[in-house]
Structure 1
Amino acid sequence: MNKTIHGHSNQQKSALIGGIALVTMALAAFFSYGFVHESLVLYEDASTTFTNLQSSNMLFKAEILGWTIILITDIIVAWAFYIFLEPINRSLALLAAWFRLIYTAILGMAILNLIFASLLSNGTIYTEQLPAHVMLFLEAFESIWAIGLIVFGLHLLMIGYMAVKASCIPKVISILLLLGAIGYISINLLITVFSQENAVISVLKLIFNVPMILGELGFGIWLLIRGGKVSNTAITFS
């Protein structure tokens, strides 16, 4: 009896903590990538990008801080998802957690390239090749992150499958998670292997953009509002 109560208490805590972490992550991602990165970095113009990073160095450092917050919350979410989804399929929940941690490690390697770009753009020595070197680190960030997002998509596919099987999780969220997973995998596979297929990548982004944004965020909001109220016995196969 005590073990059951303790397990339910852990799931309530994991749902609350996971929900908070996911919402925090979404806000940090919107700031770091959606606002700062896309306004400062112009991949077709190394010189302008270098000037932007020099003139807005503190803002770029704030972006890096945002990515660090994302990395930390990813680790928290990996733990929270495992605790919450363990009653459905312990082995799959554990595998999904490991995939997310692998993605987080890859993201960490990508963030290092942003730090190198910041150090170079804030240096005292200028050469004509410096903007190109900074751009190389920025492109490395995108390439490494794209590889990580393939792993993230596989993680999300497992989470979506378990969500479909859970009787308590709304089916619309489960479907969005699965569609988001397919989007992350297909888009980033193309970016990594067939980066020249810009038209196809743009179409896929248009198709999968909504589920990629709303899938995990919707699950996080549901965890925050309803997840902690679900009984241990309700998290079962449907």
Structure 2
Amino acid sequence: MAIVLYYYVKYNTMKAMAKASGIAYLLIFISGFYANFAILENLVDLDNSEQTTLNIINDSIQFRHGLIAFFIMLISDVFLIWSLFKITEPTQKIVPYIASLFRGLHASFFIIALTKLFEVYKITSRSINSEELQNSVIYLLSNFDKLWTIGLLFFGAHLVMLGFLAFKSNYIPKFIGVLLVLAALGYFIDGFSKLFLPSYHEYQSYFQAIVVFTGVIGELSFTIWLLVKGFSQKTFNVWYL
């Protein structure tokens, strides 16, 4: 009876962890797509400092909404460092720590990157439009882009570790592990191309399509699995064992 109770408590704890992780991942999808594609893509053109600065000044409220969405994404990401560690901890002794480390490095780079966006918001709110302001805005936005790109490479490494853990576990479907590694490859292809390929901007839409396609397939599949497990009405199951 004691053993049954022990596993019942452990299972329901993991159910709660899966539910919270699924919700956090869903928030990342929603806030990330909104901030990046609905806000930044519409306001920012790194090749046109004057228009970009004017866009941000004229749509400062929209830019602020993007900052708030990025902050929600960051908080959700930091939570997942802990929750995914708890979910994958039974699989391996060392790899969950490595996976958490890589996701932590990604979050660290994103925190630093976000400070650049806050600085853009601050200087465009209090300064008169000028060539000096435009140069500062583009410099800060370029730094944000580069820092986030480096962070996403660490995130790709996290997905490789997470995919390995999923593949090795006896409770996460193995195909999700494969899809997570595929998502990691998308981040690697886009990230390294952006940092080292001189003609990246000529093919940017293709690289972004690769990231979106592989990321949605891999991470969304994992998100759905987490939500299904978390919101399952079953009272006891041995999926954690």
Whether these two folds match at TM > 0.5 is yes
The aligned counterpart of 1:17 is 20
The aligned counterpart of 1:66 is 69
Determine the C-alpha separation between the residues in 1 that align with 2:16 and 2:176.
Answer: 21
- Quick check: 1:88 aligned with 2:54? no
- Structure 2 counterpart of 1:21, one-letter code: A
- Structure 1 counterpart of 2:9, one-letter code: H
- Would the alpha carbon gap of residues 219 and 204 (structure 1) be closer, same or farther in structure 2, given more than 3 Å must change? same
* TM-score, normalised relative to structure 1: 0.90
Determine the C-alpha separation between the residues in 2 that align with 1:72 and 1:149.
Answer: 16
Which segment is superposed worse, 224-233 or 117-126?
224-233
Taking only aligned residues, the RMSD between alpha carbons, in angstroms, comes to: 2.1
Please list, as runs of the form range in 1=range in 2, the aligned pairs for 1:1-238 lying within 5 A after superposition.
1=3, 2-198=5-201, 203-227=206-230, 229=232, 233-235=238-240
The answer (yes or no) to whether the contact 2:183–2:218 under 8 Å persists in 1 is yes
The answer (yes or no) to whether the contact 1:190–1:201 under 8 Å persists in 2 is no
Determine the C-alpha separation between the residues in 2 that align with 1:23 and 1:11.
Answer: 18
- Structure 1 counterpart of 2:84, one-letter code: F
Determine the C-alpha separation between the residues in 2 that align with 1:208 and 1:31.
Answer: 16
- Structure 1 counterpart of 2:239, one-letter code: A
* TM-score, normalised relative to structure 2: 0.89
- Would the alpha carbon gap of residues 114 and 10 (structure 1) be closer, same or farther in structure 2, given more than 3 Å must change? same
- Percentage of pairs with the same residue: 27
1:143-200 per-residue CA deviation (whole Å, 9 max, x = no partner) reads 0000000000000101111112233333442222110011112321222233444456
Determine the C-alpha separation between the residues in 1 that align with 2:182 and 2:126.
Answer: 44
Q: How many equivalent pairs are there?
A: 236
- Structure 1 counterpart of 2:120, one-letter code: A
- Would the alpha carbon gap of residues 91 and 9 (structure 1) be closer, same or farther in structure 2, given more than 3 Å must change? farther
- Structure 1 counterpart of 2:41, one-letter code: E
The unaligned stretches of length 5 or more in structure 1 are none
Determine the C-alpha separation between the residues in 1 that align with 2:23 and 2:51.
Answer: 37
Determine the C-alpha separation between the residues in 2 that align with 1:164 and 1:135.
Answer: 43
The answer (yes or no) to whether the contact 2:49–2:135 under 8 Å persists in 1 is yes
Which segment is superposed worse, 124-133 or 193-202?
193-202
Determine the C-alpha separation between the residues in 1 that align with 2:211 and 2:47.
Answer: 25
